[in-house]
Structures are given as C-alpha cells and as structure tokens.
Structure 1
Amino acid sequence: MAKGKTELSKAAVFIDAENQSDLNPDTLMQLLSQLDVVERHVYADWRNHRLDHLVEELHDLGFELHYTWSGPKLGDRKNEADQQMAKGIQCVVERNPYIETIVIISGDHFFTRTVQRLRQSGKYVIVAATPRRVSKTLCNTADRYLPLGKVARWIQSLDQAENTSPYMTFRFAAQKSGVRPSNLERLIRQGIVIQERRTNPQWGEKREVYLNRDAYAVQATLGFAA
C-alpha cells in the first residue's frame, strides 16, 4: 500500500479527530491493511459531541484516546490537540526507533514541520485527510497522500464516469457515478464540479457537468497535484 515501502512495514497512526470528524475508522484501517500498525493514537477535546460517534469505534480498533483540553470554553485554545499530537509523535518515534512509517490523519498545515522532521530522520510519512480540508503544503511535504471521506469517493466515481463518456448531463453523471443528485449539487456549490447549461433546438436545455480539474480537492484526490 505504501509506495516505496514493503508490505507490513512497522507503522504508527495518529489521528487529529477534530480535523477529521467525519472519519470512518474501519475504512481507514482497511486502507492501511498492508502496514503492521503497532501504535494507534487519537487526540481531541472529547467534550466535543461531534466526536461522540468515534469514541467507541476507535477504542474497539485499539486506539489510545488522548484528551486535549482546549480551554474553559470548547475551542478557546486553538491548535491544542495539534501541539499535543506533534509531541506524541515525537515521543513514539524516540521510544520505538524500529517504526518505519508514520501515518498522520489530519489536513492541518500545522503538521508540515513535523512531517519535514520525520522525513529528515528517515521515516516514511503518509498524510490522510478529506481533500477539502488538507493543506496543499502538508500534502506535498509527505511521501504520500491518501484521500479520505465521501467527497474523495464522489470525485473518484465522477472521474471514472468521465472516462467512459466525455459528455455528461447532470442526470447521466448522477446515474453513472452513483453520486446522489443532492450531493452532486453540493459539489457544484463547492466548485469541485462545473455545471454548464446548453440549449439545443431539438432537445432543449441540458445541464452538462464535469470535474473542475483546477480545484485542489480534485487534484489531490486523483493524484496529480503539483
């Protein structure tokens, strides 16, 4: 799975839960199945109820949950979880020098320096995050980027549909890709999909749609970001 690394490379996984609150832990571990994950850590201020659904799933998968206090009011102290996670990565690497691969589940630019230091010390670094919330600099600094989440799956499905037909109406794109019309509308609003209305005297107005390949979320997901 990890390009440039043999299968069952010893790995440590670190999750910035508040940055990736829609994470599917089971899908994540399937993506990392060719790594021998020997350390699993997740950081968050667990007072955040948006993360309640993750607690049991991550615990069942063997993750150690770290509580990071973000102030008297939730979120008052920005980057607290990021700072604690960066320290945790350093501690794990120093304590377990045999670990070859570090997987960082976050799109936060904060971790760019951490990734740089890890690579300088000879570690292979994978960054995994939803493409709409990943720093371009962070993504480009890592050895590999893994797109996560629904938006990444929708982009991949639409790309496959475009490869079978250079011209796609809105209805055809939804049917061929399996992306629900409401979600396709959402991608249009986010600038990930471009919509053009074309009128023909014979068949009237049609909505043509196609991926916006200038959008960084599309570039990162499909692997041609510069």
Structure 2
Amino acid sequence: MAQEVEDLKFAVLIDADNVSSSKIESILDEVKRYGIPSIKRIYADWTKSHVTGWKEPLLTHAITPIQQYSYTVGKNSSDSALIIDAMDILHSQQVDGFTIVSSDSDFTRLAIRLRESGKMVIGVGEKKTPKPFIAACDKFIYIEILDKETATKPLPKEKIPVETVDTIGGKPIKPAGQAMQEYEPIGREMIDLLKASVNDVADEGGWAPLAAIGGLLNKRKPDFDPRVYGFSKLTPLFKSLDQHFDVEEKSTEKTKIKHVYIKIKEKPKASRKKPKNANMLH
C-alpha cells in the first residue's frame, strides 16, 4: 500500500546565511503540512557574529548546527557542506524528501539530482530566489508569506491594499484573509494559467475537480500559492474571479465532505440588434 503523505519523512537542510532565525518556526510548521521533519540541520560558520541569534531557535526546535569554517574570504563554504550532507542522506535512504531552505541558486543542481533519485524536494526562500532553483523543486514556498510578524503588524497606511485589481478588467478583487499584507495582483498570465489547468483536467461538461487543478498548478508552477494573492485557499481565489470561473460545491450525504468543482465561464454571445430602420428596407 502506498505511503500516506503525512507519513513522509523530510530532511530539512538550512543555509543560515540565507534565512533569519525569526522565520524558522513558520518554516517548520509549513514542512509539517507535507510530512515529518525527521532530520533538521543548519549550516554556518558559527564563529561569526551574524549568526548568534540562532542559538535559542536551535534549542527550541532541536536543530543540529553544523560548523563550517570559511576557508576563503567572501566565499560561502556552508553551501558545500550542505550539499555533501544531502548526498550522504540520500544514499542512506533515511528520508522520502528534502527541504532546502535557501535563496541561493547554487543549490539548483542539488535539487535536480535529488528529484532524479525519486525524492520530493521543497524549496523555501525569499522572492529574490533565482527562477532556476524554483523550477528545480517540486514545490517552492516564499518565506514572505510565512512571516507571522508581518501578518500581525499593520503596515503604513499607504501600503495597506484597499483592493487588488484584476489587470485585465472586470470587477475589483478584494483579498481574503489577512488584510495587512501586500499581495500580488492576479494578472492575465496567472488567469491564463488557471484556465489552462482547469481545461486540462475538466470532464466533458467542462467541470474540473479542485484537487486535480491544484496538483497540476503545482507541477506547472512550483511557487504557486494562493497566499501570494491574499487567499488562504484555492477555493476563495477562484470565487473571487467569478467573471472568469463558475464554482460549484457538492457534498455526499454519508460523509458530508465537500467536493469543489471549477468551470471556465462561457462568454455571453453578442446579440445582433435589429436596425431601427429595418422595416423600411426592401
């Protein structure tokens, strides 16, 4: 029998030079949505002053610090140590997947190699992360959307989004959930991706199950996440785009479990108006 998703074991490998210690709790909580972080290691030159803030989080979350001295000024030797450990863990067959916490493109080849070996790879980094590293992961999560401190602190008035406007017209889209974060607008490119995904998994009637849409979106765009656009789930995102999609929720009588289906809204056919002087024409 296939192993359940929640039983998957992950090795969480953190580049301390690329992430703040204040984000680690949110990152580990996110990993637990996919499985169990059974191996947790963090890499840095711990003799440096800029990593002193990690001491308490390491104890709190039982993360093993790996010391790696910088042999050359200006070079990050922690990258090499992380890559070597990842390959050792891979060959030991102790885990089902890896979480690489870094915004560094140097880990692109590592992510590709791990996936070639059949391991799931989750990347966690900032929005500045180069696209090749994002594309090399099965799933990529932006640290900014996990920042609990930002979610609880009100932004300056001019930065609070009153509404997020669909760039291809139609009614304004108001973000759901936390109204204090800055959200990306849902533009033409994203709506085209949503429509293509719905169309590819739809039945003959045009209806597509939400679960299948979500799976296809993650395969096509590893960094896709409704939270980037201000929505906690995929369902409210589609509901906000009611000028483009129809949403239908069904539940079975026995289980009461809701199943959500999406359909691309058909454009109304333009009616041909009869000319005012039509009766005068012969």
Bin the TM-score by the shorter chain: 0.5 to 0.7
- Following the alignment from structure 1 to structure 2, what is the Cα–Cα distance between the partners of residues 213 and 51? 39
Counterpart in the other structure of 2:172: 166
Give the Å deviation of 1:26: 1.1
1:38 aligns with 2:35: no
1:127 aligns with 2:128: no
Q: Residues 101-126 of structure 1: CA distance to partner in whole angstroms, max 9, x if unpaired?
A: 10000111111111111011110100
Q: Residues 75-102 of structure 1: CA distance to partner in whole angstroms, max 9, x if unpaired?
A: 715131101110011112222x141110
- Following the alignment from structure 1 to structure 2, what is the Cα–Cα distance between the partners of residues 111 and 120? 14
- Following the alignment from structure 1 to structure 2, what is the Cα–Cα distance between the partners of residues 65 and 105? 14
- Following the alignment from structure 2 to structure 1, what is the Cα–Cα distance between the partners of residues 160 and 122? 25
- Output the TM-score relative to the length of structure 1: 0.65
Give the Å deviation of 1:50: 2.5
Indicate the percent of aligned positions where both proteins have the same amino acid.
20
Q: Which runs of 5+ in 1 are unaligned?
A: 185-192, 194-209
1:13 aligns with 2:12: yes
Q: Which has the higher mean CA deviation after the structures are superposed, 43-52 or 139-148?
A: 43-52
Select which of 103, 107, 111 maps to 2:107: 111
For the residue of structure 2 that corresponds to 1:24, the secondary structure is: helix
Q: Cα 1:111–1:130, aligned 2, differ >3 Å: closer, same or farther? A: same
Q: Cα 1:120–1:57, aligned 2, differ >3 Å: closer, same or farther? A: same
Counterpart in the other structure of 1:49: 49
Q: Residues 106-155 of structure 1: CA distance to partner in whole angstroms, max 9, x if unpaired?
A: 111111111111011110100001212x1210001110001113697879
Select which of 79, 84, 96 maps to 1:87: 84
Q: Which runs of 5+ in 2 are unaligned?
A: 152-158, 189-220, 227-282
Structure having greater relative contact order (Cα 8 Å, sep ≥ 6): 1
The residue type equivalent to 1:178 in the other structure is M
- Following the alignment from structure 1 to structure 2, what is the Cα–Cα distance between the partners of residues 167 and 212? 8
Q: Residues 57-86 of structure 1: CA distance to partner in whole angstroms, max 9, x if unpaired?
A: 123211110111114xxx715131101110
Counterpart in the other structure of 1:200: none
Q: Cα 1:76–1:130, aligned 2, differ >3 Å: closer, same or farther? A: same
Instruction: Say what the alpha-carbon RMSD is for the aligned residues.
Output: 3.7
Q: Cα 1:56–1:100, aligned 2, differ >3 Å: closer, same or farther? A: same
Say if 1:21 and 1:50, in contact at 8 Å, map to a contact too: no
Q: Residues 190-209 of structure 1: CA distance to partner in whole angstroms, max 9, x if unpaired?
A: xxx8xxxxxxxxxxxxxxxx
For the residue of structure 2 that corresponds to 1:47, the secondary structure is: coil
- Following the alignment from structure 1 to structure 2, what is the Cα–Cα distance between the partners of residues 151 and 32? 11
1:101 aligns with 2:97: yes
The residue type equivalent to 2:109 in the other structure is R
Q: Residues 29-66 of structure 1: CA distance to partner in whole angstroms, max 9, x if unpaired?
A: 11112311211100011233232222221232111101
- Output the TM-score relative to the length of structure 2: 0.53
Q: Which has the larger radius of gyration?
A: 2
Mapping of residues 64-79 of structure 1, within 5 Å: 64-71=64-71, 76-79=73-76
Task: Give 1 or 2: higher strand fraction.
Answer: 1
Give the Å deviation of 1:8: 2.2
